[in-house]
Structure 1
């Protein structure tokens, strides 16, 4: 296998599963994204309730002795360059990283692509419910916390004033799909690859968690809820097994997959 065609640390068996039709997959993924954006926009108009819920979440986190979001933000605010990088990461990495992940799986691991697309679809669709039932203002909007809206102060920002922002619902902080998608990217690459370095993919959701809390765009609980939703989806939708014949690393010999060996023994 040519390692240059795979992400760093992403070594695994070739996937001989037939790829789904490209146009159909593009329409499915694009349609899911548009439905999600439209659904979040339909959940606007609950400003008072969103701030009430924000105070409840803030006090619940303190009662549960979760770390203060202020601690992460204080570390970012030690340098303007660092906080600017965090804002840039929040604004530019979330969606492109997920797209690259899906494209790589589609090309290199079609069976895992179908699995990952289904999991993301379930999690994203489920995330449409909470803005209707539990609208939530992000911590950057909550007064009395000492948190700074880092994107507005230091830039770049993907949001305008809530009253004039017609592209997003800023009162839909829970769950954090920034974190949920990042965690799925890591889980998906770990499941689809075989390199001993593949656990390093978890650095992506770990960094995302620090960014979303440090920039005051999300609470810890937003990430925890996203994790729970992803966990439920993964419990129902299982990844495919590696079944392709592979060449043993460093030799010219071929290794027969374990299920085949088991069948031959019988």
Structure 2
């Protein structure tokens, strides 16, 4: 068991590692932000691909959502305040309460973020809010985390493919479902579902952005988080020993 000082040091070390990974990711986003022309061209292509495969129009869905009072405001709030804070809280909880699962979840998240960085660099994509037919709900309601101009802020606004909002939400939901035995664990499915709905309603991502993120997350979960719901090896061994102990006791009784 770690000493209190050792536990604090481990938490600080992990926070530092995550901060470095986040810094490298943002540096890569800034490098890829120079390709505005190709980002808009890719957006036009992707909209055509979605139409070709029969996916429903995100613009039409957003238009219907905007008719519901307060829905866009709530979606903007969710987009701005849930994604990173909830992921950080889950990682911190795993680090303290389930360190065996934490390491696996951390590397799965890091792997997904690294793959997303590659996607952002080689396939810059203008999000729907920058395209004709959509409404930038963040700017319209004064809740934008990016700003009205693509050159504002430190974030790369052309980093739409894949959607890390959807990818991270899907990944942590699956991890928490797999490590938990509670019957309520399936409620975590609501997190990626709500996140996917929010990024469409706020015009921050297309369908393909979220679907690609999920497709990338699945093999990482298989690689880093196999059979997490079955418990640790010690738990399995204790379970397997019980019938043998019981049989031995019965034999002595006879």
Structure 1 unaligned segments of length 5 or more: list them: 1-17, 247-254
Preserved CA contact (<8 Å) 1:72 1:210: no
Alignment partner, residue 224 of structure 2: 237
Secondary structure of the corresponding residue to residue 70 of structure 2:
helix
Q: Out of 116, 125, 142, which is 2:131 matched to?
A: 142
Q: Which of residues 169, 178, 185 in structure 2 aligns to 1:182?
A: 169
Mean CA deviation greater in 75-84 or 108-117: 75-84
Q: Secondary structure at the match of 2:26?
A: helix
Q: What is the total number of aligned residue pairs between the two structures?
A: 238
Contact 1:140 1:149 in 2 (8 A): yes
Query: 1:226 pairs with 195, 213, 219, which one?
Result: 213
Map 1:103-182 onto structure 2 (within 5 A). Answer: 103-143=92-132, 146-182=133-169
Q: Which runs of 5+ in 2 are unaligned?
A: 1-5, 248-254
Q: Is the helix fraction higher in 1 or 2?
A: 2
Per mean C-alpha deviation after superposition, the further-off stretch among 163-172 and 85-94 is 163-172
Identify the match of residue 206 of structure 1 among 185, 189, 193: 193
Give CA-to-partner distance per residue, 1:168-225, whole Å, 9 cap, x none. 1111100000001111121111012111121110101100000001111000000011
RMSD: 2.3
Q: 2:25 aligns with which of 26, 29, 36?
A: 36
**For 1:262 and 1:135, how far apart are their aligned partners in 2?**
58
Rg comparison, structure with higher value: 2
Between 1 and 2, higher relative CO (CA 8 Å, sep ≥ 6) is seen in 1
For residues 90-101 of structure 1, the aligned pairs below 5 Å read 90-101=79-90
- Alignment TM-score, normalising by the size of structure 1: 0.83
Contact 1:162 1:170 in 2 (8 A): no
**1:82 matched to 2:66:** no
**Native 8 Å contact 1:61 1:221 kept in 2:** yes
Take 1:258 and 1:245, find their aligned partners in 2: how far apart are those partners? 9
Is 1:22 matched with 2:11? yes
CA shift for structure 1 position 93: 0.7
